[in-house]
């Protein structure tokens, strides 16, 4: 899936495309009716299998043969081995299988036999028309949250958003305008423990992904363990890095020409997790540090939306400290 990872575009839209919103907003009437799946009468028959683990000969053959034996037709397959000798194996397979929802349990059993018992791989099987459930955590900035909600409504991101949680109240009206529940959970460094406990009560079991959309609070290791789903964060980036406070002012003082943003999985070290996506925007000498910050905000929302869109299509596979983005 080449062009979905294209850098420096005006467009954060992923290539593969989603099913239409169950109840399309009237305003989407004029938007292009799009995406293979919703044009495809067989969309309920499209499955995605992602497999990762230790590389060895024969995995592709065994997986594709198993799928064939179940009557599946592979329509898109990406496979990558990080190293011909003892590297890691990652494969994303999109296939069409009549009655997928019905036969899925049997397919899961057989995949478990092959991938768990025989090959000891990590794997997931998803149905293309089952949208990911994505919770958004935010603070006061609207740019990342609204970009995600808008693209979700336009059918550009294959997700539902069961909730937006914020430690402030300023985004409530905008979020609810999209018909999305907004929960206000005040939280600061002193009340982090109980705040995160309340967040976990809302999130646990209800979401497949948590997105930090300029959520300006530290996430505890304990939260990461308990939430049980991946957490994606966005932050600004520069060449070179400007460490510490007021990075935009420092960048301005060096005459920096590019302002960037990085979307990454959150690990114990908040800004050091595996990188999913990055992009930059160009700035000039005539722009103030405040202009740079506003530019940065625009790159942030584009990069975060790309990362979330790809993740929702099962295109982003974490591999230790790095990622495979098909």
Q: Among residue numbers 177 through 206, which ones bind a copy of itself (CB under 8 A)?
A: 177
323 binds a copy of itself (CB under 8 A): yes
Residue 297 φ then ψ, to 5°: -60, -35
Q: Measuring CA to CA, which residue among 183, 187, 185, 174 is closest to residue 148? A: 174
Q: Does 30 engage in binding with a copy of itself (CB under 8 A)?
A: yes
Whether 99 is catalytic: no
Does 214 bind a copy of itself (CB under 8 A)? Our answer is yes
Which H or E element spans position 278? strand 275-282
Q: How many CB atoms lie within 10 A of CB 197?
A: 13
Cα 195 to Cα 202: distance, rounded to the nearest angstrom? 11
What residues from 58 to 97 belong to the interface with a copy of itself (CB under 8 A)?
A: 58-61, 64-65, 67-68, 71-81, 84, 91, 96
**Minimal distance, residue 200 CB to a copy of itself, in Å:** 24
Q: How far is the CB of 153 from a copy of itself (least distance, A)?
A: 9
Minimum CB distance to a copy of itself, residue 315 (Å)? 10
**Strand, coil or helix: 96:** strand
- What is the nearest approach in angstroms of a copy of itself to the Cβ of residue 204? 27
For 299, the 3-state DSSP assignment is helix
- Cβ closer to a copy of itself: 195 or 260? 260
| Contact flag: residue 110 with a copy of itself (CB under 8 A) | no
Q: Which residue has the tokens 């790159």?
A: 299
Phi-psi region of 29 (alpha: psi -120 to 50; beta: other; left: phi over 0): alpha
Scanning the structure block, which residue is given the tokens 């000798």? 85
Q: Spell out a b/e string for 262-271, using b for 16 or more CB atoms within 10 Å of the CB, else e.
A: bbbbbbeeee
Contact 133, 162 (CB under 8 A): yes
Question: 168, 184, 198, 249: which one contacts a copy of itself (CB under 8 A)?
Answer: 168
Least Å from the CB of residue 273 to a copy of itself: 9
What's the distance, CA 284 to chain centroid? 31
Binding segment for a copy of itself (CB under 8 A), chosen from 106-114, 185-193, 194-202, 255-263, is 255-263
**Min CB(321)–a copy of itself separation in Å:** 6
Under the binding rule (CB under 8 A), the answer on residue 244 touching a copy of itself is: no
- Binding of a copy of itself by 298 (CB under 8 A): yes
Q: Binding of a copy of itself at residue 226 (CB under 8 A)?
A: no
CB-based contacts of 101-106 (< 8 A; 24+ apart in sequence):
101/44, 101/127, 103/70, 103/71, 104/47, 106/70
* Contact string (CB under 8 A) for a copy of itself, positions 129-158, x = contact: ----------xxxxx--x---x---xxx--
Q: Is 274 in the site for a copy of itself (CB under 8 A)?
A: yes
Q: Which is nearer to a copy of itself, 40 or 200 (CB)?
A: 40
Catalytic residue among 69, 271, 279, 314: 271
Task: Note whether 35 binds a copy of itself by CB under 8 A.
Answer: yes
- CB nearer to a copy of itself: give 132 or 315: 315
At which residue do the structure tokens 């982090």 appear?
A: 192
Query: Could you write out the three-class secondary structure of 138-149?
Result: ECCCCHHHHHHH
User: Exactly one of 136, 256, 266, 312 binds a copy of itself (CB under 8 A); which one?
Assistant: 256
Q: Name which position in 53, 230, 270, 291 contacts a copy of itself (CB under 8 A).
A: 291
Residues 6+ apart with CB under 8 A from 96: 42, 45, 46, 47, 72, 73, 75
Residues with catalytic annotation? 271
């Amino acid at each position: 899936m080449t062009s979905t990872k294209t850098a420096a575009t005006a467009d954060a839209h992923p290539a593969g495309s989603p099913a239409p919103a169950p109840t399309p907003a009237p305003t989407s009437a004029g938007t292009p009716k799009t995406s293979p799946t919703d044009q495809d009468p067989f969309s309920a028959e499209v499955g995605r299998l992602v497999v990762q683990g230790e590389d060895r000969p024969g995995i592709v053959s065994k997986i594709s043969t198993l799928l064939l034996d179940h009557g599946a037709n592979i329509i898109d397959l990406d496979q990558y081995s990080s190293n011909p000798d003892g590297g890691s194996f990652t494969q994303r397979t999109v296939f069409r299988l009549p009655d997928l929802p019905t036969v899925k349990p049997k397919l899961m059993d057989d995949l478990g036999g092959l991938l768990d018992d025989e090959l000891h791989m990590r794997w997931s099987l998803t149905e293309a028309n089952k949208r990911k459930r994505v919770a958004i955590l935010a603070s006061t900035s609207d740019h990342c949250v609204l970009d995600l909600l808008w693209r979700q409504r336009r059918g550009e991101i294959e997700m539902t958003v069961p909730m937006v949680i914020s430690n402030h109240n300023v985004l409530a009206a905008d979020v609810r305008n999209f018909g999305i529940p907004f929960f206000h959970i005040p939280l600061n460094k002193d009340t982090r423990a109980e705040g995160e406990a309340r967040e976990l009560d809302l999130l646990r079991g209800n979401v497949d992904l948590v997105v930090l959309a300029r959520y300006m609070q530290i996430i505890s290791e304990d939260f990461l363990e308990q939430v049980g789903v991946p957490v994606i964060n966005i932050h600004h980036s520069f060449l070179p890095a400007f460490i510490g406070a007021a990075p935009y002012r420092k960048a301005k003082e060096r005459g920096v020409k590019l302002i960037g943003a990085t979307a990454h999985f959150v690990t114990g070290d908040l800004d050091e997790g595996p990188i999913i996506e990055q992009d930059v925007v160009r700035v000039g000498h005539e722009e103030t540090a405040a202009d740079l910050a506003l530019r940065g905000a625009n790159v942030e929302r584009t990069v975060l939306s790309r990362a979330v869109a790809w993740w929702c299509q099962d295109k982003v596979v974490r591999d230790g400290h790095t990622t495979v983005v098909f």
